[in-house]
Amino acid sequence: MVVGVGARTGVRAEEVLAAVDAVLPPRSGPVRLATLDTRAAEPGLREAAASRGWPLSGHPAAALVTVPVPTPSDRVAAAVGTASVAEAAALLTGGRLLVAKTVHGRVTVAVAEDADQPHLDADPDHPDADPDHPDTDRDHDVDLRHHGDVEATEGLVDLAVNVRAGTPPAWLRTVLHDAVDASAAYPDPRAARAAVAAAHGRPEAEVLLTAGAAETFTLLARALRPRRAVVVHPSFTEPEAALRAAGHAVERVLLAPPSYRLGDVPTDADLVVLGNPTNPTSVLHAAADVAALARPGRVLVVDEAFADTAPGEPESLAGRTDLPGLLVVRSLTKTWGLAGLRVGYALGPADLVAALAAQQPHWPVSAPALAALVACTTPAARAEAEAAAVALEADRAALLAALPPGVEVVGTPRASFVLLRVPGAARVRAQLRDRGWAVRRGDTFPGLSADHLRVAVRDPDTSRAFATALAEILVTGPQRRDPHPRPPGTAPTPDETS
Ligand SMILES: Cc1ncc(COP(=O)(O)O)c(C=O)c1O
């Protein structure tokens, strides 16, 4: 369904939602909102769309005026040029009008079939007709905003979040404490920007300092107006969530197990997002394969939040200035244990960096976060990170060696976590929790199933203890409650012993 929306300036999200809910037929299937381009930036409209995960598109008055509408209004025609924003926007794709425009206070809505998704039910071979096929807009099928932190509750050994254990190191905590002590002043980003630029051999204008890698995805969603945005999955879900929250339609390219090798990306995609190494598969794509996706007219976003977990960062594109539209996203969260500080950066062409910076609030990165950027880009800190990456390889090998039979390692892990396929993983995860272990569920990643679990690499003793718990659970099988428990001390019946 397309819901065409006309709204007054300052309209609130609840008004929009009440109007849409009043006219949407039951079991409407996927919904998207369409409106005038100048209205698409209206905060209430964006908030309404984001809260339901509905794509929101804005269309120029020049396009809307060409659409004949059944319920024209002279007043609207005089103000906007089209005789009904709601009906013209709903009918723009050429579908049938299902609900003519109705006015709900400051909001006018009309509903039409989405001619871009014409035969969902009629054509069983159409990929959109398959509810398990996750690469379309209608597949708001998973909670993109679920992350491992909600699984790592207090008292459990945390294998759900991939932050390096034992971090931040003492010297970094001292840096942070000193920065907090000096926090009366507003943050000055110059030293941090210079440090990051020097570490990657790039001009300062190509460095964007951010409150964590996640901020970059929101900035991209706000700054860009992609015609065809593609996110390569399975991968970290925030880029897609941020794009959708800003009203952009997102297409998913699903990589196939077990290699998760980079596949075909639509040639006309003007925004492509992928991770390297990829969370949750731990697969490290060859730099040449990733670089081959860059082209003029496209923004290629490579999330390298885990790049420094691979010794030597062999496939990083952070230093590449020759690739058009390449934006590399980095984070201090994982290696330095700074998830709560919110600190990262992005590297890309100066004009793109400037466009993203224009979307940031003033003073976006705190003084302690800036101090961390300076401290973690020194040669000594980089050597420490490299040593941690080397040690991680041995720790990962110990984890893989300890895993019990029946557990499949999916993909070739190259980062600080491994992706496992365990039949009945939902039950296994629950039983692991009972025994004190938190692992990350897989089924909230597009392309993975309820049989997937992601497990962080820890020291070998921890990994072996985890593997023992996992083996016991797999041997025991499902633990069912006996519906007819025998009182203690009574003899088993013949049936029970047979
Ligand atoms: C692949 C990936 N990118 C980015 C992030 C977010 O990083 P930050 O804490 O810097 O926002 C995460 C966090 O889980 C991640 O897994």
Burial of 347 (0-12, 13-18, 19+ CB in 10 A): buried
List the domain boundaries for the chain. Answer: 2-138, 148-165+382-476, 170-380
Model confidence at 456: pLDDT above 60: yes
According to the model, what pLDDT value does residue 127 have? 34
Q: Among 144, 232, 238, name the best residue to mutate to test ligand 1's pocket (greatest count of ligand atoms within 8 A of Cβ).
A: 238
Ligand 1 closest atom vs CA 303:
3
Look at domain 148-165+382-476 and name its CATH class.
alpha beta
Ligand 1, atom 7, lies closest to the CA of 213
pLDDT mean across residues, the chain: 89
Q: Could you tell me the distance, in angstroms and rounded to a whole number, from the CA of residue 267 to the centre of ligand 1? A: 27
Among the listed residues 252, 298, 303, the one whose alpha carbon sits nearest the alpha carbon of residue 275:
303
Mutate which of 218, 334, 335, 445 for ligand 1? The one with the most ligand atoms within 8 Å of its CB, which is: 334
pLDDT at 284 over 90: yes
Centroid of ligand 1 to alpha carbon of 229 (angstroms) = 20
SS3 229: strand
pLDDT band, very low/low/confident/very high, at 26 (cuts 50, 70, 90): low
Residue 142, pLDDT score:
83
| pLDDT at residue 134 is higher than 50 | no
CA of 296 to the centre of ligand 1 (A): 27
Residue 484 pLDDT > 50, yes or no? no
Among 102-106, 118-122, 248-252, 283-287, the minimum mean pLDDT is found in 118-122
Ligand 1 centroid–CA 331 distance in Å is 7
170-380: which CATH number, 3.40.640.10, 3.40.50.300, 3.20.20.150, 3.40.1160.10? 3.40.640.10
Ramachandran category for residue 295: left, alpha or beta (phi over 0 → left; psi -120 to 50 → alpha): beta
Residues with a CB atom less than 6 Å from ligand 1: 212-214, 236, 275, 279, 303, 305-306, 331, 333, 339, 344
Which three-class secondary structure state does DSSP give residue 470? helix
The residue with greater pLDDT, 465 or 132, is 465
**Residue 265 backbone dihedrals phi, psi, to 5 degrees:** -110, 135
Q: What is the mean pLDDT of residues 292-297?
A: 98
386: tokens are: 């490299």
**CATH placement of domain 2-138:** 3.30.420.180
For the cut 70, the answer to whether the pLDDT of residue 481 exceeds it is no
Pocket test for ligand 1, best of 279, 283, 304, 329 (most atoms within 8 A of CB): 279
Mutate to test the pocket of ligand 1, among 164, 217, 273, 331 (most ligand atoms within 8 A of CB): 331
pTM: 0.72
Instruction: List Cβ<8 Å contacts ≥24 apart for 485-493.
Output: none
Q: Check if the beta carbon of residue 339 is closer than 8 Å to that of residue 161.
A: yes
Lowest mean pLDDT among 35-39, 94-98, 223-227, 479-483: 479-483
Question: Residue 479 has what pLDDT?
Answer: 52
Q: How far does residue 147's CA lie from ligand 1's centre (Å)?
A: 10
Band (383; pLDDT cuts 50, 70, 90)? very high
221 touches 404 (CB < 8 A): no
332: CA distance to ligand 1 center in Å?
9
